[in-house]
Structure 1
Amino acid sequence: MGFPVGYTDLFLPKLLLHILTLLGFIRKLISFIFQLTGFGDFIEPEYSSDPTRPEPVTHFHSVSAELIREHLPVVKFSELVDPPESCAVCLYEFDASDEIRRLTNCRHIFHMSCLDRWMDHDQKTCPLCRTPFIPDDLQDSFNERLWAASGIADYYGDLSLVSG
Protein backbone atom coordinates (compact mmCIF):
# COMPACT_ATOMS: atom_id res chain seq x y z
CA MET A 1 0.00 0.00 0.00
CA GLY A 2 1.17 3.47 -0.66
CA PHE A 3 -0.07 6.98 -0.68
CA PRO A 4 -2.71 7.87 -3.21
CA VAL A 5 -1.29 9.52 -6.28
CA GLY A 6 -3.31 12.71 -5.78
CA TYR A 7 -1.64 13.50 -2.44
CA THR A 8 2.01 13.10 -3.41
CA ASP A 9 2.09 16.16 -5.65
CA LEU A 10 0.06 18.87 -3.96
CA PHE A 11 -0.62 21.98 -5.99
CA LEU A 12 -1.59 24.36 -3.14
CA PRO A 13 1.70 24.29 -1.14
CA LYS A 14 3.74 24.86 -4.31
CA LEU A 15 1.52 27.80 -5.26
CA LEU A 16 1.86 29.26 -1.74
CA LEU A 17 5.64 28.84 -1.85
CA HIS A 18 5.85 30.62 -5.21
CA ILE A 19 3.65 33.49 -3.95
CA LEU A 20 5.84 33.94 -0.84
CA THR A 21 8.99 33.89 -2.98
CA LEU A 22 7.49 36.52 -5.28
CA LEU A 23 6.50 38.73 -2.31
CA GLY A 24 10.01 38.44 -0.87
CA PHE A 25 11.47 39.49 -4.24
CA ILE A 26 9.10 42.48 -4.42
CA ARG A 27 10.07 43.52 -0.88
CA LYS A 28 13.78 43.39 -1.75
CA LEU A 29 13.15 45.37 -4.95
CA ILE A 30 11.23 48.11 -3.10
CA SER A 31 13.90 48.22 -0.40
CA PHE A 32 16.63 48.55 -3.07
CA ILE A 33 14.74 51.38 -4.81
CA PHE A 34 14.29 53.22 -1.50
CA GLN A 35 18.01 52.79 -0.72
CA LEU A 36 18.92 54.27 -4.12
CA THR A 37 16.65 57.27 -3.64
CA GLY A 38 17.89 57.90 -0.07
CA PHE A 39 14.71 56.86 1.69
CA GLY A 40 16.01 53.52 2.97
CA ASP A 41 15.63 54.57 6.60
CA PHE A 42 11.87 54.81 6.14
CA ILE A 43 11.54 51.13 5.36
CA GLU A 44 14.30 49.55 7.45
CA PRO A 45 15.65 52.08 9.98
CA GLU A 46 17.70 49.47 11.84
CA TYR A 47 19.65 48.68 8.65
CA SER A 48 20.76 52.19 7.86
CA SER A 49 23.68 52.43 5.44
CA ASP A 50 24.71 55.85 6.81
CA PRO A 51 27.85 55.33 8.96
CA THR A 52 27.62 58.84 10.47
CA ARG A 53 24.20 58.15 11.92
CA PRO A 54 24.35 57.23 15.61
CA GLU A 55 23.16 53.83 16.74
CA PRO A 56 19.46 53.81 17.61
CA VAL A 57 18.56 53.69 21.27
CA THR A 58 17.15 50.25 21.91
CA HIS A 59 17.05 50.53 25.67
CA PHE A 60 14.90 52.96 27.60
CA HIS A 61 15.20 53.43 31.35
CA SER A 62 12.18 54.37 33.39
CA VAL A 63 12.33 57.54 35.44
CA SER A 64 11.90 55.59 38.65
CA ALA A 65 14.83 53.29 37.74
CA GLU A 66 17.05 56.32 37.13
CA LEU A 67 16.08 57.87 40.47
CA ILE A 68 16.72 54.58 42.28
CA ARG A 69 20.13 54.34 40.60
CA GLU A 70 20.95 57.80 41.96
CA HIS A 71 19.92 56.67 45.43
CA LEU A 72 21.88 53.40 45.51
CA PRO A 73 25.64 53.92 45.78
CA VAL A 74 28.16 52.15 43.55
CA VAL A 75 31.33 50.98 45.30
CA LYS A 76 34.23 48.69 44.53
CA PHE A 77 33.89 45.20 45.92
CA SER A 78 37.35 45.44 47.52
CA GLU A 79 36.09 48.28 49.77
CA LEU A 80 33.49 46.09 51.53
CA VAL A 81 33.91 44.44 54.89
CA ASP A 82 32.68 40.82 55.18
CA PRO A 83 31.03 40.63 51.72
CA PRO A 84 29.26 37.56 50.29
CA GLU A 85 31.09 35.32 47.84
CA SER A 86 28.77 35.64 44.84
CA CYS A 87 26.02 37.75 43.31
CA ALA A 88 22.57 36.28 43.92
CA VAL A 89 21.35 37.41 40.48
CA CYS A 90 24.03 36.04 38.13
CA LEU A 91 25.63 33.59 40.61
CA TYR A 92 29.15 34.65 39.57
CA GLU A 93 31.73 35.27 42.25
CA PHE A 94 32.73 38.86 42.96
CA ASP A 95 36.15 40.13 41.89
CA ALA A 96 37.99 42.85 43.80
CA SER A 97 37.56 45.28 40.89
CA ASP A 98 33.81 44.69 40.44
CA GLU A 99 31.45 47.64 40.82
CA ILE A 100 28.64 46.64 43.12
CA ARG A 101 25.51 48.15 44.61
CA ARG A 102 24.61 47.64 48.25
CA LEU A 103 20.92 48.06 48.99
CA THR A 104 20.22 50.48 51.81
CA ASN A 105 17.26 48.63 53.35
CA CYS A 106 18.32 45.00 53.39
CA ARG A 107 22.08 45.45 52.85
CA HIS A 108 22.20 42.80 50.09
CA ILE A 109 24.99 43.16 47.55
CA PHE A 110 24.78 42.68 43.77
CA HIS A 111 26.86 43.47 40.70
CA MET A 112 25.92 46.92 39.49
CA SER A 113 25.01 45.63 36.03
CA CYS A 114 22.87 42.81 37.47
CA LEU A 115 20.87 45.15 39.68
CA ASP A 116 20.56 47.78 36.94
CA ARG A 117 19.20 45.17 34.56
CA TRP A 118 16.74 44.12 37.29
CA MET A 119 15.59 47.74 37.68
CA ASP A 120 15.23 48.10 33.88
CA HIS A 121 12.38 45.59 34.15
CA ASP A 122 10.61 48.12 36.40
CA GLN A 123 11.42 46.20 39.57
CA LYS A 124 11.58 48.29 42.73
CA THR A 125 12.41 45.58 45.28
CA CYS A 126 15.45 43.50 46.19
CA PRO A 127 15.74 40.46 43.91
CA LEU A 128 16.59 38.31 46.91
CA CYS A 129 14.24 39.32 49.73
CA ARG A 130 11.77 41.72 47.99
CA THR A 131 12.47 44.57 50.37
CA PRO A 132 11.79 47.93 48.64
CA PHE A 133 14.87 49.74 47.32
CA ILE A 134 13.76 53.03 48.84
CA PRO A 135 13.48 53.11 52.66
CA ASP A 136 10.11 54.14 54.11
CA ASP A 137 11.50 57.38 55.56
CA LEU A 138 12.71 58.47 52.10
CA GLN A 139 9.65 57.29 50.15
CA ASP A 140 7.85 60.66 50.26
CA SER A 141 10.93 62.49 49.02
CA PHE A 142 11.40 59.87 46.28
CA ASN A 143 7.76 60.22 45.19
CA GLU A 144 8.10 64.01 44.97
CA ARG A 145 11.24 63.69 42.83
CA LEU A 146 9.51 61.10 40.65
CA TRP A 147 6.50 63.40 40.20
CA ALA A 148 8.73 66.35 39.33
CA ALA A 149 10.86 64.29 36.92
CA SER A 150 7.81 62.94 35.11
CA GLY A 151 6.84 66.46 33.98
CA ILE A 152 3.16 65.89 34.72
CA ALA A 153 3.06 68.82 37.14
CA ASP A 154 4.29 71.12 34.35
CA TYR A 155 1.58 69.87 32.02
CA TYR A 156 -1.35 70.17 34.42
CA GLY A 157 -0.10 73.20 36.33
CA ASP A 158 -0.42 73.66 40.07
CA LEU A 159 -2.71 70.96 41.43
CA SER A 160 -3.15 72.77 44.74
CA LEU A 161 -5.52 75.17 42.99
CA VAL A 162 -7.70 72.30 41.84
CA SER A 163 -7.74 70.41 45.13
CA GLY A 164 -8.29 73.53 47.30
Structure 2
Amino acid sequence: MGFPVGYTDLFLPKILLHILTLLGFIRKFISFIFRFIGLTDFLEPDISSEPVTHFHSVSAVLIRELLPVVKFSELVDPPESCAVCLYEFDSGDDIRQLTNCRHIFHRCCLDRWMDHDQKTCPLCRTLFVPDDLQASFNERLWAASGVVDYYGDSSLVST
Protein backbone atom coordinates (compact mmCIF):
# COMPACT_ATOMS: atom_id res chain seq x y z
CA MET A 1 0.00 0.00 0.00
CA GLY A 2 2.16 2.93 1.14
CA PHE A 3 1.66 6.62 0.67
CA PRO A 4 1.14 8.26 -2.70
CA VAL A 5 4.25 9.82 -4.22
CA GLY A 6 2.76 13.33 -4.14
CA TYR A 7 2.12 13.15 -0.37
CA THR A 8 5.75 13.85 0.56
CA ASP A 9 5.75 17.20 -1.27
CA LEU A 10 2.96 18.99 0.57
CA PHE A 11 2.38 22.56 -0.46
CA LEU A 12 1.20 23.87 2.96
CA PRO A 13 4.41 23.23 4.97
CA LYS A 14 6.52 25.01 2.32
CA ILE A 15 4.29 28.09 2.52
CA LEU A 16 4.38 27.98 6.33
CA LEU A 17 8.19 27.72 6.30
CA HIS A 18 8.48 30.69 3.93
CA ILE A 19 6.09 32.78 6.06
CA LEU A 20 8.06 32.02 9.24
CA THR A 21 11.33 32.90 7.50
CA LEU A 22 9.84 36.18 6.28
CA LEU A 23 8.60 37.01 9.79
CA GLY A 24 12.10 36.34 11.14
CA PHE A 25 13.59 38.76 8.64
CA ILE A 26 10.98 41.39 9.53
CA ARG A 27 11.76 40.96 13.24
CA LYS A 28 15.50 41.42 12.62
CA PHE A 29 14.84 44.46 10.44
CA ILE A 30 12.64 46.11 13.08
CA SER A 31 15.20 45.43 15.82
CA PHE A 32 17.92 46.93 13.59
CA ILE A 33 15.80 50.06 13.05
CA PHE A 34 15.10 50.37 16.81
CA ARG A 35 18.82 50.03 17.61
CA PHE A 36 19.70 52.59 14.92
CA ILE A 37 17.20 55.10 16.29
CA GLY A 38 18.23 54.37 19.89
CA LEU A 39 15.04 52.77 21.13
CA THR A 40 16.59 49.60 22.58
CA ASP A 41 14.34 49.90 25.65
CA PHE A 42 11.44 48.68 23.51
CA LEU A 43 13.23 45.51 22.41
CA GLU A 44 12.95 42.13 24.10
CA PRO A 45 15.89 41.28 26.41
CA ASP A 46 17.20 38.50 24.13
CA ILE A 47 17.30 40.88 21.15
CA SER A 48 18.85 43.80 22.99
CA SER A 49 22.63 44.12 22.87
CA GLU A 50 22.83 45.01 26.57
CA PRO A 51 24.34 42.31 28.79
CA VAL A 52 21.97 40.59 31.21
CA THR A 53 23.10 40.85 34.83
CA HIS A 54 22.53 37.89 37.12
CA PHE A 55 21.13 38.24 40.61
CA HIS A 56 23.06 36.57 43.40
CA SER A 57 21.41 36.18 46.79
CA VAL A 58 23.22 37.55 49.82
CA SER A 59 23.49 34.11 51.37
CA ALA A 60 25.08 32.69 48.19
CA VAL A 61 27.69 35.46 48.19
CA LEU A 62 28.52 34.83 51.85
CA ILE A 63 28.73 31.06 51.33
CA ARG A 64 31.10 31.61 48.39
CA GLU A 65 33.37 33.54 50.76
CA LEU A 66 33.37 30.59 53.18
CA LEU A 67 34.19 27.97 50.52
CA PRO A 68 37.63 28.64 49.04
CA VAL A 69 38.48 27.91 45.43
CA VAL A 70 41.50 25.64 44.88
CA LYS A 71 43.05 23.93 41.89
CA PHE A 72 42.20 20.29 41.40
CA SER A 73 45.89 19.37 41.18
CA GLU A 74 46.39 20.52 44.81
CA LEU A 75 44.04 17.86 46.24
CA VAL A 76 45.09 14.57 47.79
CA ASP A 77 43.00 11.52 46.77
CA PRO A 78 40.31 13.41 44.79
CA PRO A 79 37.27 11.82 43.12
CA GLU A 80 37.22 11.19 39.39
CA SER A 81 34.24 13.35 38.39
CA CYS A 82 31.96 16.15 39.54
CA ALA A 83 28.64 14.87 40.89
CA VAL A 84 26.73 17.83 39.43
CA CYS A 85 27.86 17.88 35.78
CA LEU A 86 29.32 14.33 35.71
CA TYR A 87 32.42 15.53 33.82
CA GLU A 88 35.84 14.33 34.92
CA PHE A 89 38.13 16.77 36.69
CA ASP A 90 41.21 18.16 34.92
CA SER A 91 44.33 19.20 36.78
CA GLY A 92 43.73 22.91 36.04
CA ASP A 93 40.07 23.00 37.09
CA ASP A 94 38.93 25.40 39.81
CA ILE A 95 37.04 23.42 42.42
CA ARG A 96 35.30 23.96 45.74
CA GLN A 97 35.59 21.45 48.55
CA LEU A 98 32.80 21.60 51.10
CA THR A 99 33.90 21.94 54.71
CA ASN A 100 31.26 19.73 56.34
CA CYS A 101 31.02 16.70 54.06
CA ARG A 102 34.30 17.15 52.11
CA HIS A 103 32.58 16.60 48.74
CA ILE A 104 34.29 18.19 45.73
CA PHE A 105 32.61 19.98 42.81
CA HIS A 106 33.60 22.25 39.93
CA ARG A 107 33.45 25.86 41.11
CA CYS A 108 30.99 26.85 38.38
CA CYS A 109 28.73 23.87 39.12
CA LEU A 110 28.52 24.64 42.83
CA ASP A 111 28.14 28.38 42.22
CA ARG A 112 25.22 27.72 39.88
CA TRP A 113 23.69 25.46 42.56
CA MET A 114 24.03 28.28 45.12
CA ASP A 115 22.51 30.79 42.69
CA HIS A 116 19.26 28.84 43.04
CA ASP A 117 19.40 29.70 46.78
CA GLN A 118 20.47 26.20 47.77
CA LYS A 119 22.36 25.99 51.06
CA THR A 120 23.10 22.26 51.14
CA CYS A 121 25.47 19.88 49.38
CA PRO A 122 23.97 18.69 46.07
CA LEU A 123 25.10 15.15 46.84
CA CYS A 124 24.34 14.49 50.52
CA ARG A 125 22.29 17.56 51.57
CA THR A 126 24.66 18.52 54.40
CA LEU A 127 24.59 22.25 55.15
CA PHE A 128 27.34 24.31 53.52
CA VAL A 129 27.97 26.31 56.69
CA PRO A 130 29.48 24.27 59.55
CA ASP A 131 27.72 24.41 62.92
CA ASP A 132 30.58 26.30 64.58
CA LEU A 133 30.39 29.07 61.94
CA GLN A 134 26.58 29.22 61.76
CA ALA A 135 26.20 32.00 64.37
CA SER A 136 28.72 34.31 62.69
CA PHE A 137 27.23 33.50 59.28
CA ASN A 138 23.76 34.47 60.51
CA GLU A 139 25.13 37.74 61.95
CA ARG A 140 26.82 38.61 58.63
CA LEU A 141 23.64 37.69 56.75
CA TRP A 142 21.57 39.87 59.06
CA ALA A 143 24.00 42.79 58.68
CA ALA A 144 24.12 42.41 54.88
CA SER A 145 20.33 42.43 54.64
CA GLY A 146 20.24 46.03 55.90
CA VAL A 147 17.41 45.42 58.36
CA VAL A 148 19.44 46.87 61.24
CA ASP A 149 20.01 50.06 59.26
CA TYR A 150 16.29 50.33 58.55
CA TYR A 151 15.24 50.07 62.20
CA GLY A 152 18.21 52.05 63.47
CA ASP A 153 19.44 50.75 66.81
CA SER A 154 19.01 47.00 67.17
CA SER A 155 18.28 47.34 70.91
CA LEU A 156 14.98 49.00 69.99
CA VAL A 157 13.93 45.96 68.01
CA SER A 158 14.56 43.50 70.81
CA THR A 159 12.48 45.41 73.41
Same fold (TM > 0.5): yes
Say which of 89, 95, 98 aligns to 2:90.
Answer: 95
The alpha-carbon deviation at position 159 of structure 1 amounts to 2.6
Q: Within 2, Cα distance between the matches of 1:32 and 1:81?
A: 54
TM-score by length of 1: 0.72
Q: Within 2, Cα distance between the matches of 1:101 and 1:120?
A: 15
- For the pair shown, the structure with the greater C-alpha radius of gyration is 1
Q: How does 1:1-164 map to 2 (within 5 A)?
A: 38=38, 40-44=39-43, 46=45, 47-48=47-48, 55-57=51-53, 59-164=54-159
For structure 2, the residue ranges without an aligned partner over 5 or more in a row are 1-22
The alpha-carbon deviation at position 157 of structure 1 amounts to 1.2
Number of residue equivalences: 134
For structure 1, the residue ranges without an aligned partner over 5 or more in a row are 1-23
The alpha-carbon deviation at position 31 of structure 1 amounts to 7.3
Deviation string 1:102-147 (CA, Å, 9 cap, x unpaired) is 0000000000000000000000000000000000111010010011
The alpha-carbon deviation at position 149 of structure 1 amounts to 0.9
Q: Within 2, Cα distance between the matches of 1:42 and 1:132?
A: 42
